Structure 1
Amino acid sequence: MVAVIHTSSSLRAVLMYNERKVGEEQAVCLAAENYPKEATDLTFDQKLNLLQKLASLNLRTKVNSVHISLNFDPSEHLSPDQLRAIAGSYMDKIGFNDQPYLVYEHKDVAHEHIHLVTTNIRSDGSRIPLHNLGKNQSEKARKEIEIDFNLIKADGRNQELQELKPAILAVDYGKIESKKAIAKVLAGVIDRYKFTSIPELNAVLGQYNVLADRGNEGSRTFQKEGLYYRLINEKGERVGVPIKASSFQRKPTLKYLQKRFEINEQLRLADKIRVKNAIDFTLYGKSNVTLDRLTNILKREGVDTVFRKNDTGLIYGVTYVDHRTKSVFNGSSLGKNYSAKAIQERCSPMQLTTNIAQYNVPDLGEHSNSISHSSRHSSHQVFPDFPFQQRNLPVTNTKPEMADALFDPLKQDGPIPRPLRSRKRKKKKGLSQNL
């Protein structure tokens, strides 16, 4: 089992993401735990209002939405009761057992997975810390649940992902024979990954310091539909002597690759939704996710993000390399919302950090790819006297009018807590009052 945790400041956006999947018949709400009604009896507003009322008790905490996905091995097929039990065990182990939370089973990808939606603001207004939630509680809970429910362990799955990019494939010009090193990379990429163009192929090859080079459009090589493979350094600069594609044993010429393009176009269709979901899950309803944070999160999901830049450093293209499904997608092929322009608009307008590794691939616009890291912390303020202290009572013991009151929209005209009240400025007496 793999647990992925996202936090944000918009409960509405997170809930809408899951409810939209329900409306598209790609998900179903399995449970509404610690709600006074069953999930099937709740409307969208009722689900949201209870969470928002909790969040309103601590207005100092901006990050109050917790969105978790629990992912299982594709070979595992779990019943709704098993998924509910796993969700309950996980929330209990990470300290969210008393929080109201919603459980959604998503059916938009091949592997079984569920989404959990809740808030980290307790009924007394205190905040559940999130900064070590993934590293400490979640990781421990994940391993215990794998044993308790006899699930396939994620450690072996992570090892499999690492084997997709073995170090032996990395090419360092000058230390080993160029042709032999390039041949190893081509054998590990061309017959395994599903790409539909030379730029998409270079998005994968560039990570191993190899470039498929057709030459300039006006060159004889380009006009004769020739193809060379060559080494590039960590800056994307061409090094060494190019080697004809026909001189390799597998003969990965342009004609051969064009046949692969047509086959791969059909083979990768089923894999689009996984990459799109990974991007949407990271960005939906969030306004503070930068490009480098997006690439870092996608990398943990097994997706490398390759940005293409012009000579001035402006990003004009993006390619996604999914190492789990071994599919490669140019951003625009996934849809307008996943193109380079749309991704930059959806991300926070901050420049990529200087620590980002870049591969400047000059051929056919393959200039660079970028991966980086980011983190977020928040503070909290406690407010007492939450009127829903007894919300965990069974539905049968709760009067209908009391239960309905929990789902009323949050009113903004009530008294403001004293710590949040702004100090009134004293008016200066005018000259006329002093006379």
Structure 2
Amino acid sequence: MVAVIKTGSSVHNIFNYNENKVKEGIAECIGEGNYPLEATKLTGAMKLNRLLKQNELNTNVKRNSVHISLNFDPSESALSNEKMLEIASQYMQKIGFGNQPYLIYRHYDSGHPHLHLVSIKVREDGSRIDMQNIGRNQSEAARKEIEKMFGLIQAQENKNTRHELIKPVVLSKIKYGRTESKRAVQLVLDHVLPAYKYKSLSELNAVLGLYNVKADRGEENSRIFKMNGLVYRTLDENGRPIGVPLKASEFYNKPTLKFLQHKFQENNKTVYQKKRIANAVDLILLGRSVSLSYLAMQLGKEGIEMVFRKSEQGQLYGITYVDHLSKCVLNGSDLGKHYSAKQIEERCSLSFENGKEMIITSLPETSKSNEGFQTETDKETFFNDLWQQMNALDFKSAVEKIVEVLTRIENDTFYVPNQLKKASKKKRTRRRSNNI
């Protein structure tokens, strides 16, 4: 089980988010805590007013709403509503919200079973619940106890294979027209915004672009840019915006520019795991001249995504590395000059022409022949070229030449080593008898 805790300044937003899911038929309110009536007998107004009235006891608490999601392994889809109600009750009790009013929603809009809990931070006596480090302390302890209590799959042990651990894209890419755009974008934002470490809008878009989403401020002379506004756009397969832009303020967790700028400042203080990315790149390129697509493919196996930034003419001018293991997002220049777009292009021995990769190294004519050296001059020329390629770190061509020499056919086709010659049969002479 995995628990995600978020706080907000509007009970209306998180309540309406869950109730709208119910109206769409992809969620249901299966229970409540500390309400005078059962959930099935409560109207929408009764659910909301219970939370609002208690919050009014302390108007000094600005971030007074609490939104928690409890996520279970996909194999636990058979969990009944009754079992989930017990789990929710135990969890809220263990994190200090057992006496708070809360609503329990079961959602069916993703590939794994999960609950959403809606509550508030103001107690009945008007005091505020301190939620400092609640996720790391109370929630983590509660999660482990509940996993054992109910026989759930343990989150930290559910890493059967390395491939599953570093799977880069948990959600599928958004395909415009196939799903409701706002809901699909919301799922992507819920997955990316709290987890990844990004320091700028371009770095954030490097991750969002993997799901066909983009955070857009508009042109510099546009009204939305001047007003510090932000919209989220759905992208087509070619990375071009499609459909109607969605205002950041329309999403329940308000992922506005102000919110993102606060995240940028927080992430600037984070220690990034640069060595893992740099070492992975160096290891793949060690002693080899490979294509850029091959490098990207091999890094993908390590859980590192390469996001290329190209001009309209197809010229590569930037690379962003997205490490899905450490959740770090880094531009090539942040790693060091050897990992910038220009240096990687040179290290891969590639030239970008019209957006296509072309290997620019080639073998000399002397290496293309399957015949042996005709003269001593040919031999000297061959090894001089080989030495130059070794000095130029063109190991691939050098190795190809060595293999070709070792496997080439000798000129003298009539020569056979003595060890391979068949023993000659002695001719037996027939002697005539003297008696004839």
- TM-score under structure 1 normalisation? 0.48
Compare CA radii of gyration and give the structure with the larger one.
2
Higher relative contact order (CA 8 A, sep 6+): 1
